[in-house]
Structure 1
């Protein structure tokens, strides 16, 4: 399992290539919550997602070849891999499960230089074809969430946030567990970290309830980013050690969180980012008096008017 030393080393490695994303303090009345909240604006990362951190950390710790890199992704990981690969002068190929692919994310991946291959159902077939591509060509495969380099890269967002804000609790959206696994490995017991999922993508919550990793068939509005079929081994191990709690919200709650964020601040985030905020706006997570709460807004790869169409 990675620790703070690996995350600090990763931050030194990737800092020249990423943005140090800001935080904003929302006052008591801004989101209609009745208490203040700190927002970590990671959706302002260069590719519109935290995934760039893990992508760069992977590529900067590996021997790269002309065969380039290959990955499986619903969009954000693929965009991060494509951006990092192009910046480092190598080709990238992304296999995307067609069932959960969002057009805006396909455009982003292609725009950053990737060859994008959409793979029909079942969702797991994209991963099989990605592995076959790596074996056939010698391309470096970058796992979207379950590798030490990925967790260390994603954990840098917590290292960064710890220097920006003093908080008691951080709400984090969860898919495969790479982000929350990295964050937990940095904060450990210093900050209460709460996982947040939608009902149609929830694998952490049932896994914690059964005390074993549970597989699901993800769907719904957050599936392109939170649509892993199960929590990865590394994220699960970190969650067993340090995760303080878990929350599940509905797709309707996520839409409402998007709407409130837009009305309060003119910030548009994708559903996966609004999922974490929905824990507060829905009342699923109620902070204690004077509890300093932060929400990680993890991505913005959605059409600007997309959530309005669903409202």
Structure 2
């Protein structure tokens, strides 16, 4: 059986994106073995720009890209809209009604045609129909090979910045970023680094899939629903997570809020609740590093209001 995502995809994505995305830094906290990878400094304020741009560049190599279509709770839409603007083509994004106002405004400022629908499944359906024409390219939030590979290229930045690394904590949602990071570490020669998926108790896509032995529908609610509210883990995420032995760690909404507040109060890092979830795992004790374990916490998105 052919893998849905491979290291070949990651290496191809790195080549396509070279010189087109920000090389994001890693912050080492003095006196601590916890590192913060600052992917929220990516163009568009989100890792999803990597995946969207890689998707469009791969499509452009096969034929003209005339229009971009995306469905997302927010950040993939932002990444797709910015990638479309970068390539000079129009974008239409379908977002659920729960999408925060500031993200809708951001999308409009990026020049996207924003269509709000009832929920994320409805957004997926509408986007698939709208993209069914020559020259239109659909950008899925997580379950596309090129999207997952593009997002995973942040792993090359991480390993270039860190001499020793044992574990990476990654927010899950649909699992495309998680899968990309796992394969990105392998492509970078760090296949011994452990990857742990972190999700809120109200958006447990990975936890539910691992328990069931397959992706299953889950209710999604809570403070991080706009960024982590996938209806189920994607096939790419499940294949990589199950074969790589990735485990799920759950945190509460209160943990996510506290982590986001501390990052702002102590380090002047302002990120989304969903992006703060991996840090919440360490801060709350849901994930307890072993003595001397070097843990990188991925902070992946900053499309959030200041209050």
Say yes or no: does 1:191 pair with 2:193: yes
Post-superposition shift, 1:136? 5.3
Check the 8 A contact 2:68/2:138 in 1, yes or no.
Answer: yes
Which secondary structure does the structure 2 equivalent of 1:216 belong to?
coil
Where does 1:105-120 land on structure 2 (aligned, <5 Å)? 105-120=103-118
Check the 8 A contact 1:197/1:249 in 2, yes or no.
Answer: yes
| TM-score normalized by the length of structure 1 | 0.92
Check the 8 A contact 2:120/2:230 in 1, yes or no.
Answer: no
CA distance in 1, matches of 2:291, 2:261: 26
| TM-score normalized by the length of structure 2 | 0.93
Say yes or no: does 1:89 pair with 2:88: yes
Post-superposition shift, 1:6? 2.1
CA distance in 2, matches of 1:27, 1:125: 46
CA distance in 2, matches of 1:129, 1:152: 24
Question: 1:252–1:16: structure 2 CA closer, same or farther, 3 Å change rule?
Answer: same
Q: Which residue of 2 aligns with 1:69?
A: 68
Which secondary structure does the structure 1 equivalent of 2:153 belong to?
helix
Q: Structure 1 stretch 242-251 or stretch 1-10: which is displaced more?
A: 1-10
CA distance in 1, matches of 2:181, 2:120: 27
Q: How many residues align?
A: 297
CA distance in 1, matches of 2:274, 2:205: 14
Q: Which residue of 2 aligns with 1:10?
A: 13
Task: Please list every run of 5 or more consecutive structure 1 residues that lacks an aligned counterpart in the other structure.
Answer: 29-34, 306-311
Q: Which residue of 2 aligns with 1:267?
A: 269
Where does 1:1-311 land on structure 2 (aligned, <5 Å)? 1=3, 2-28=5-31, 35-63=32-60, 65=64, 67-98=66-97, 100-120=98-118, 122-135=119-132, 139-165=136-162, 166-188=164-186, 189-305=191-307
Question: 1:235–1:66: structure 2 CA closer, same or farther, 3 Å change rule?
Answer: closer
Check the 8 A contact 1:18/1:53 in 2, yes or no.
Answer: yes
CA distance in 2, matches of 1:297, 1:175: 14
Check the 8 A contact 2:25/2:157 in 1, yes or no.
Answer: no
Task: Please list every run of 5 or more consecutive structure 2 residues that lacks an aligned counterpart in the other structure.
Answer: none
